[in-house]
Chain A
Amino acid sequence: MEPSGAGRKEKPKAREPAARLEKAKQKSAQTELKQRQRAEIYALNRVMTELEQQQFDSFCKQMQGSGE
């Protein structure tokens, strides 16, 4: 007589590697997206930091020029 759960045990085992693989793919995609976003954020931050510095320097010059 065959064990009652033998047929049922096959399917979950087959699903596990597939589910794990899918999860790993999703995690990898998320990591890549984070890395990409990080690179763009720092590139943007560089531009915005330069803008802020230019504006601050310009403001300081005007203030000093107007004798505060």
Chain B
Amino acid sequence: PFFVNRGGLPVDEPTWERMWRHVGRIHPEGERVAQRIRGAADLPKIPIPSVPAFQPSTPIPERLEAVQRYIRELQYNHTGTQFFEVKKSRPLTGLMDLAKEMTKEALPIKCLEAVILGIYLTNNMTTLDRFPISFKTHFSGNYFRHIVLGVNFGGRYGALGISRREELMYKAPVFRTLSELIFDFEEAYRRCWHTLKKVKLGHCVSHDPHSVEQIEWKHSILDLDKLTREDFRKELERHARDMRLKIGKGTGPSSPTKDRKKDVSSPQRSQASPHRRNSRGDRRPSGEKKPADSKAMPDLNGYQIRV
């Protein structure tokens, strides 16, 4: 199950109790975990991390490292309950308010929250482009979803984010092409026995924290089952070109492709490039699993490598 705290902070009683019940069900020690922690008088005091601040002369790569260290310091949320509700369709300004709350409350987060936070903490880096990268992978009969914040600085690609797996989050901005970055993630997935199935690439996010634009999460949807390796690479580079065009002209057109569908989105997106897909869209929210009909790996105590 995938629990989200929708009532703000402090966590309300039903959500709080649900969190502990869930822990009791999944931890081998069951309810003893809750008994040890709830009401304990000697819990360690966890300092609230300071939001990174930079001198104007601090190079962007160094700032990205500091932002990533901050995100990491909040910790990946393994509790089973997500503490901040992220509605992906909210205007950017609303998501930035949420990010500010995250820095104030300083609680463990998951990948989507880290993307919102990454945008917030890099808004003042106007020479840095940010765009969401979503992954859908397959492992042992189930599908898994993950998201990071792609970055492009001076033509070099990297990523910010948080994951259970070290190799599926921060990437220094050293990759010469978007393809190289994505292939690096693909290889990292392979090392933890996940097969990459789909990549969804968003467009560049505005640096204006008060913008009422929505984040475009899936400008390009790439289904690896339907693409040759070379076509996959070409589509990634096409997306990279689209991003460069849009930045250069303000609202530039996309590169031509035979598979383009018309933009049928809401009026707010009238200036955005149309969706490009080479397979049907998949609109399940982040974090959910869908069972797949494929050969399962040997049952190793039912453990699923989540990312």
A residues adjacent to B (C-beta < 8 A): 30, 33-34, 37-45, 47-49, 51-52, 55-56, 58-59, 62-63, 66, 68
B residues adjacent to A (C-beta < 8 A): 9-11, 16, 19, 23, 27-28, 33, 37-38, 40, 43-46, 75-80, 83, 105-108, 164, 193, 298, 300-301, 303, 305
Which are the 9 A-B pairs with shortest beta-carbon distances?
Answer: A48-B78, A39-B43, A33-B10, A34-B10, A42-B46, A43-B37, A49-B78, A59-B303, A45-B108
Of B46, B193, B303, which one neighbours A38 at CB under 8 angstroms? B46
Q: Is the CB of B27 within 8 A of A48?
A: yes
Residues of A within 8 A of B301 (CB): 58-59
Given A42-B43, A43-B37, A48-B23, 12 additional A-B pairs, CB 8 A: A33-B10, A38-B46, A39-B44, A40-B38, A40-B40, A41-B107, A41-B108, A43-B40, A44-B23, A47-B37, A59-B303, A66-B298
What distance in Å separates the Cβ of A65 from its nearest Cβ neighbour in chain B?
Answer: 10
Cα of A44 to Cα of B193 in the assembled complex, Å: 28
Q: Count how many pairs of residues, one from A and one from B, have CB atoms less than 8 Å apart in the complex.
A: 75
Residue of A nearest to B46 (CB): A42
Q: Is the CB of A44 within 8 A of B79?
A: yes
Of B27, B107, B300, which one neighbours A51 at CB under 8 angstroms? B27
Residues of B within 8 A of A63 (CB): 193, 300
Q: Is the CB of A48 within 8 A of B80?
A: yes
Residues of B within 8 A of A30 (CB): 10
Cα of A41 to Cα of B19 in the assembled complex, Å: 10
Q: Is the CB of A62 within 8 A of B79?
A: no
Of B80, B83, B300, which one neighbours A62 at CB under 8 angstroms? B300
Residues of B within 8 A of A49 (CB): 75-76, 78
The answer to whether residues A37 and B11 also contact, given A45-B77, A45-B79 and a CB cut-off of 8 A, is yes
Residues of B within 8 A of A44 (CB): 19, 23, 33, 37, 79
Cα of A41 to Cα of B75 in the assembled complex, Å: 11
Of B33, B79, B164, B193, which one neighbours A41 at CB under 8 angstroms? B79
The answer to whether residues A43 and B44 also contact, given A48-B23, A55-B303, A56-B305 and a CB cut-off of 8 A, is yes
Q: What are 27 A-to-B residue pairs whose CB atoms are below 8 Å? A: A30-B10, A33-B10, A34-B9, A37-B9, A38-B46, A39-B45, A39-B46, A40-B43, A41-B79, A41-B108, A42-B43, A42-B46, A43-B37, A43-B44, A44-B37, A44-B79, A45-B75, A45-B108, A47-B33, A47-B37, A48-B23, A48-B80, A51-B28, A52-B78, A52-B164, A59-B305, A68-B193
Cα of A51 to Cα of B28 in the assembled complex, Å: 9
The answer to whether residues A47 and B44 also contact, given A38-B107, A55-B303 and a CB cut-off of 8 A, is no
Residue of B10, B75, B107 contacting most chain A CB atoms (<10 Å): B10
Of B16, B33, B44, B305, which one neighbours A37 at CB under 8 angstroms? B16
Q: Is the CB of B106 within 8 A of A38?
A: yes
Q: Is the CB of A47 within 8 A of B43?
A: no
